[in-house]
Amino acid sequence: MAGRLDAASQLANDAELARLRAELASYRNRYKAALEQIDRERERADSLVSLQGITASKTLTKTVKASRKRHAATAILMLSDVHAEERVLPETVNGENDYSLDVCQLRMEELEQRFLDCLEHERNQADIRRVLIWLGGDFITGHIHPDCAEVAQLSPMNATRWIAERLRRMIDAIAAHAGEVIVCTNAGNHGRSTEKNRIATELDHSWEQLMYFTLAREEKSKNVSWQIAEGHLGYVDLDGFLVRTTHGHSIRFAGGVYGLALPASKAIARWDAGRK
């Protein structure tokens, strides 16, 4: 009987101890919360003190109207490395690409339409009357390597004729929606008629350079002018803002960790120095 009383008493003591521990934990949590609240109030008080002496700015008495005058701007369309006649089979590139003359046709049509849509949209913000079209080269793949010849759907001459017709259509469409169109050009390295690239006479052996001169000579739109680069670099002056163009194959790099960025920066520095 005494043992049962001792067990009951021990159980009651344990229960009371558990209650007291829980109550102590509750008081500790409340104390911690109170300290945090005090810290927040101190920060708030410090913030209010720091704002003393600062007066509110005067309210505007006049309504500011948005300016209706739009600044002048030039839209730029950049197009290069089309490689129109090169056939890319999906199975040769793990299904990541499929390219042919039909695909090229669709892409050229979509480019034309999207540019005209963008031009119309941007005219809500700026007065865009002039368009600069950069034809940057490599519109054909050519036969510069044996494998290039094997995957080409057209010969270099016929590929040049094919892409020239698409460029003619695109330029005419843009000219119909612009007050002035400037077409500036650079020849690429794939459009050459020689197996190896030449330096001094590179453009004398370029299908693309011939295409540019032919398109310029046959230009019928009065608002379209051509600036055909006679070297690796071309320059277009847009109201004092000088635009330099290049296909880029004259820039060499040996696969460094910075990729093309470092040699391109050095080349640009040399070009800038040469213009001074």
Return the HEC string of 143-209: CCCHHHHHHECCCHHHHHHHHHHHHHHHHHHHHCCCCEEEEEECCCCCCECCCCCCCCCHHHHEHHH
- In this prediction, residue 26 carries a pLDDT of 87
Q: How confident is the model at residue 7 (pLDDT cuts 50, 70, 90)?
A: confident
From the CB of residue 25, how many other CB atoms can be counted at a distance below 10 Å?
10
- In this prediction, residue 67 carries a pLDDT of 62
Cα 2 to Cα 7, 9, 14, 44: the distances in Å are 9, 10, 18, 63
Helix (H) or strand (E) holding 20: helix 2-50
- In this prediction, residue 60 carries a pLDDT of 63
- In this prediction, residue 90 carries a pLDDT of 95
Q: Which residue has the higher pLDDT, 91 or 20?
A: 91
- In this prediction, residue 119 carries a pLDDT of 97
Mean pLDDT of 104-112: 97
User: Given the structure tokens 């934990």, which residue do they identify?
Assistant: 25
Q: Residues 8-21: pLDDT tens digits?
A: 777 778 788 888 88
96: pLDDT strictly greater than 60: yes
Q: Is the dihedral of CA 256, 260, 262, 268 positive or negative?
A: positive
Are the beta carbons of 216 and 228 closer than 8 angstroms?
A: yes
Q: Is the dihedral of CA 102, 104, 110, 112 positive or negative?
A: negative
Using CA atoms of 202, 206, 208, 209 in order, give the dihedral in degrees to the nearest 10: 60
Are the beta carbons of 245 and 234 closer than 8 angstroms?
A: yes
Are the beta carbons of 133 and 77 closer than 8 angstroms?
A: yes
- In this prediction, residue 207 carries a pLDDT of 94
φ/ψ of residue 94, rounded to 5? 60, 30
Answer yes or no: pTM beyond 0.85.
no
Mean pLDDT of 62-90: 87
- In this prediction, residue 61 carries a pLDDT of 64
Mean pLDDT of 118-137: 96
Taking only Cα atoms into account, the Rg of the chain, rounded to an integer number of angstroms, comes to 36
Q: Is the dihedral of CA 180, 186, 190, 195 positive or negative?
A: positive
For residue 72, the SS3 value is: strand
- In this prediction, residue 24 carries a pLDDT of 86
How far apart, in whole angstroms, are the C-alpha atoms of residue 229 and residue 245?
9
Are the beta carbons of 169 and 120 closer than 8 angstroms?
A: no
- In this prediction, residue 2 carries a pLDDT of 58
Q: How confident is the model at residue 87 (pLDDT cuts 50, 70, 90)?
A: very high
Q: Which of 40-49, 88-97, 178-187, 216-225 is predicted least confidently?
A: 40-49
228 is written with which tokens?
């055909």
Q: Residues 27-73: pLDDT tens digits?
A: 888 888 888 888 888 888 777 777 777 776 776 666 656 667 889 99
123: pLDDT strictly greater than 70: yes
φ/ψ of residue 18, rounded to 5? -65, -40
Are the beta carbons of 103 and 86 closer than 8 angstroms?
A: no
82: pLDDT strictly greater than 60: yes
* Identity of the amino acid at 19: R
